[in-house]
Structure 1
Amino acid sequence: MPAALTPEIVPGLVAGGASTKIAEDIAPKFKHGDKVRARNINPTTHTRLPRYVRGKVGTVVHDHGVFVFNDSNAHGKGTHPQHVYNVRFTAQELWGPDAPSRDTLHIDMFESYIEPA
C-alpha cells in the first residue's frame, strides 16, 4: 500500500483491489466461540463500528488476521495493527424479541471494537 493516495494510483487500486492486511505477528485476544461485546464508543471521527451493534453481545466465528486499523490510519495517527474478527449476532440481540429467532448477522470487527462479554 502506498504511503500517500494520489490521483494517479486510484484507478489501479480500484481495478485490482487493495487490502490493508499485514504480516505482523500479533497474538489474537479472541478465538472462535468466544462471546464478545461490541464496545459502546462514540468517537467524534469516522469508525467502522456500526452504531446498532454497540453494547450488543455476539460470538467470534473467524479471525481474519492482522490489519491496519483504518480508524487511526486515516487520520495520520499510525497503523495500530490488530486482528479483525467475524462476529455473529442474533437478530434478537440486535433488534429485540420480535426479530426472527433464526436470523443472524455477521460483522467483521477490529479487535479494539470488542471486549469479553
Structure 2
Amino acid sequence: MPVLTKDMVDALVRTGASARSHEAVPPRFGVGQQVRAKNLNPTTHTRLARYVRGKVGTIDRDHGVFALPDTMAHGGGECPQHVYSVTFRAQELWGLHASAVDTVCIDMWDDYLEAV
C-alpha cells in the first residue's frame, strides 16, 4: 500500500479502506494466553499505548492479519501480522487503588507483545 497522499483522501473517505492482509501469517499467541506489552519508546509512529507498556494482559481475541501502522507510516511496507484484543485488569494498569473488577481491552499488533 502506498503512502497516503492528498489526492487519495477523498476516495478513501468515500469508499473506506482496510489494512487487513490476506497473507498467511501464523499467530504467535492464542486466546487465553498471557502476554506482556513491550516497553518500546520509539522516536517514530506507534499505536502502542504508553499506559500498557510493560503490563501483563490476556489475549481475548485474534482479529486476523493486518498491516502494521508503524511501518506503513514511514513507507516501510505492510509488515503483516496478527492483531489481538488484549484485556488488562485495571489494577495492573493503574495500581491497587483502581477497581478490582474493571478491565480495559486494547487491540495490539504482534510486534507490541511478548510471551510471559
2:108 alignment partner, SS class: strand
Structure 2, gaps ≥5 residues long? none
Over the matched positions of the two proteins, sequence identity in percent amounts to 56
- TM-score with structure 1 length normalisation? 0.93
The residue identity in structure 2 corresponding to 1:112 is D
Q: CA deviation at 1:21?
A: 0.4
Equivalent residue for 1:109? 108
Partner of 1:75: 74
Q: Secondary structure at the match of 2:62?
A: strand
Corresponding residue for residue 44 of structure 2: 45
Partner amino acid, structure 1, of 2:106: I
Instruction: Report how far residue 116 of structure 1 moved.
Output: 0.5
In 2: Cα distance, 1:92 partner to 1:66 partner: 30
Pair 1:25-2:24 in alignment: yes
TM-score by length of 2: 0.94
1:57 CA displacement = 0.1
Q: Which residue of 2 aligns with 1:10?
A: 9
Residue 76 of structure 1 deviates from its aligned partner by 1.1
Q: Give the structure 1 partner of residue 84 of structure 2.
A: 85
Q: Tell me, what secondary structure is at the counterpart of 1:20?
A: coil
Question: Which letter does structure 2 place at the counterpart of 1:51?
Answer: R
In structure 2, what is the Cα distance between the partners aligned to 1:45 and 1:7? 21
State the SS of the aligned residue for 1:63.
Answer: strand
AA aligned opposite 1:42: N
Q: CA deviation at 1:13?
A: 1.5
Where 1:9 maps in the other structure, the secondary structure is: helix
Deviations along 1:32-87, one digit per CA (max 9) or x if unpaired, are 00000000010010100001000000000001111111101110112111100000
Unaligned runs of 5+ in 1: none
The alignment covers a number of residue pairs equal to 116
Q: Partner of 1:72: helix, strand, or coil?
A: helix
Larger mean CA deviation between 57-66 and 68-77 belongs to 68-77
Check the 8 A contact 2:3/2:73 in 1, yes or no: no
